[in-house]
Each structure stands twice: as C-alpha cells, then as structure tokens.
Amino acid sequence: MTRLPDFRLETHLSRWEFTARHHLTASDMQTMTLSELLTLADDEDREAFGALSLGYTDTFGDPALREAVAGMYENAEADDVVCFAGAEEGLYLAMNVLLGADDHAVVVTPNYQSAETVPLALCEVTGVALDERHDWALDLDRVAAALRPNTRVVSVNFPHNPTGKVIPAADFAALTRMCDERGIRLFSDEVYRGLERDPARALPQAADLSERALSLNVTSKSLGMPGLRVGWIVCRDRELRSRLERAKHYTSICNAAPSEVLARIAIKARRSILERNRALIAEQLPLFDAFFADFPELFEWRAPDGGCVAFPRYRGADGVEEFCARLVAEAGVLLLPASVYRSELTATPDDRFRIGFGRRGAEEALREFGDWLRRRG
C-alpha cells in the first residue's frame, strides 16, 4: 500500500472530537437514534432489520439498498451503484482504480484532504484553487488550462467542504461536457447535496449527466448518519463498476449488514429527514449571522451556498492557529484552523477556520465562544 501523509483533519478531530465540550465544526448534520430511525421505516423494512442474518452481504452492496440509492438518481438503476464503507473508502478506491503512475489528475483546492493526497500518492496532480476574492468561484478556463493529454480524472466537490460553495448549474454542465469530450472521468463528491440554502441551486448529479462520470455520496452528511458507514458511487460504466468492486475485495469486502438495512430505511425516508435538517440549518444560521455581527473587527463571515460548514476569516493579530488552539483549550469550543486545509498544490488561505452549523446546540456553543472572546478582550 502506498504511504499516505497524516490526514490532518482526522488527526485534529481524533484529538478533540469527543473531548471538546462543543464540536462547533462538525461537517455532518444532527444525527438520530436507532429507534428514531426505525420509526421512519415501513413494516417490511422494520421486520427485515429484526430478522436480519449476520452473514457477509453482496460485495456490490445489498440489492435492496442499491435499489433505494438508484431511486435518488434520474438516470441510474440498481446495477449502476457500488456501495462502500463510507464515502472515504469510495474515494480512496476510485482513485486507485482510475489513476496509475503515468496519469494526471486535477483537483479543486482547498479540499477534504484525501481528495488531494490519495491521487498525489498515485500520480501527478494539478490543483485549481477556488477564487477566494470572487466568492470561491471555480474558473473553468483554469480547469481547461490544467488538463493534459494524460489527465484521467477531474475531482470536484459541491456543495464544497469547507467553503460551502455551489457553482452555477450551467458551469457544472459545462465541466461535465469538458471531461466527457476528452475522455476524462469527472469524480463528483456530492456528500453535502440536499443542504443547499436555496434548493433550486442543487446541482444535477454527475452520474445523471454523464455515462462516464462518478457520483460519490453517503449517509453521513446531509442525512446525518456517519455511524452507518454506508457510502456509494453511482456510475453507468459497467466495466469501471466491476473494477471498483474488485478493489473493495482488498478493503471492506462488503458493508455491515445491519447498516445496509438502516441506510435503506434512511434513504427511503430522505425527504422528511432532509426537510428536518434544512429546517435546523435555517433556524441556526441566523444565530451565526448575529454572532459574527457582534465582532466585525475580528471576523469576516458570509453564510455559504450549501452544506453545513463555512470558512470565515479571522482577523485577530494572534493568527487563526493560535486562536483556535486557545479557544478549544480555554473555552472547550472546537473549530478547524486553516492549516488543516493547507494544500500541497496551490496557495490556500492561512487566516480562515471551519465552523459547522448542522448540529443542535449551536446557541450554547456560540454563547461560550462569545463569552471567551469578551473575557480575553
């Protein structure tokens, strides 16, 4: 196995996620209990959960789960779905299947670190930075300029972690066409889809637009169930799906059987879960607007287009790294400083931090955050 660098975000979270009093940087929505989820199930699925046998399951993913996943797409059937242990396994294996030493990939920066480090461990990679001065726009001319004859993958993620950017649908369609015309795979990480502030801005799913593109998704983020560890890739290219499934023989082999049934229940109930989650965001975001309005000299804040994280600027003289370190140590409020999002490929901001607003309890966390800021003067 290739040697990969430390995953800075996960390393930071493994130190603080379960010890900080307020996890104010979570990238997943408020979760629910097993019994709450089971109340959303129809009788058949609830009985299936109780009667489940705990053997291995289908390596592509349980057929009924894949059927439910396919129902989320316009142009996909159950056969077009391959399930993974979370989005992370899907991302990791897809890059390993798609990229070899003589290939080249293009990724957007800043990024969820493995979007960059997994391809970098395999081949040459060019970063295309979202434009911080223009509301994190993606310049398609710069993507086009980054392409080489041996480019095999263009990897994007909208709504974007950590900025929440959602590009215009026309740009996404143009990007898909650009990739298709050159035989490049568009790898589209869509794990925050469904959490757009304006639902009309939800992008089409790449696998619906293109027969070659890969759409990555998971129950973790918009549905708030990362503990299920059920992710999937939808792709209408049968040969590629078969390669993905064979790669999985070396990692998880198959998903956890109970999780597959629970994920199926969650996906079938997704409309009501998403409605609840969007309502929570709509309730909590004004608290963040009000909080940042109280400290205009310290922060530059703008509510993002989608997802449940944002990437505001910190203007304090101490710098964002020290600020985040002291905030968690002294007030128990966890944020992610800019260094976690540093890229090897392009310059990335060094004065921002990730903050999350998808979990309940933001009011208390912001109160303690504000009290601490006032105390330290």
Instruction: Tell me which stretch binds ligand PLP (CB under 6 A): 218-226, 254-262, 288-296, 340-348.
Output: 218-226
Stretch that binds ligand PLP, among 81-89, 99-107, 255-263, 270-278 (CB under 6 A): 81-89
CB of 297 to ligand PLP, least distance (A): 31
AA identity, residue 373: L
Distance of CA 69 to the CA centre of its chain: 17
Q: Which of 164, 224, 226, 306 binds ligand PLP (CB under 6 A)?
A: 226
CA angle 213, 214, 218 (to 5 degrees): 155
Of the CA atoms within 13 Å of residue 18, those in its CB half-sphere come to: 3
Residues in the chain: 377
Evaluate whether 97 touches 243 at the Cβ level (below 8 Å): yes
94 counts as binding ligand PLP under rule CB under 6 A: no
Residues in 13-32 that interact with ligand PLP by CB under 6 A: 27
Nearest to ligand PLP of 204, 306 (CB atom): 306
Residue 169 amino acid letter: A
CB of 53 to ligand PLP, least distance (A): 26
Task: Closer to ligand PLP by CB, 11 or 39: give it.
Answer: 11
Could you say whether residue 86 binds ligand PLP (CB under 6 A)?
yes
CB 325 within 8 A of CB 314: no
Q: Which residues pair with 355 in a beta bridge?
A: 310
Instruction: Provide the token pair at 194.
Output: 């469904």
Q: Does 191 bind ligand PLP (CB under 6 A)?
A: yes
> Cα separation of 245 and 345, whole Å?
30
Query: Rounded to the nearest 10 degrees, what angle do helices 320-331 and 362-376 cross at?
Result: 110
Nearer to ligand PLP, 359 or 373 (CB): 359
Q: Cβ of 307: how many Cβ atoms within 10 Å?
A: 31
CB of 168 to ligand PLP, least distance (A): 20
Nearest distance, CB of residue 137 and ligand PLP, angstroms: 19
284 binds ligand PLP (CB under 6 A): no
Work out which of 106, 108, 175, 218 binds ligand PLP, going by CB under 6 A.
218
Q: Which residues bind ligand PLP (CB under 6 A)?
A: 27, 86-88, 91, 112, 157, 161, 189, 191, 218, 220, 226, 231
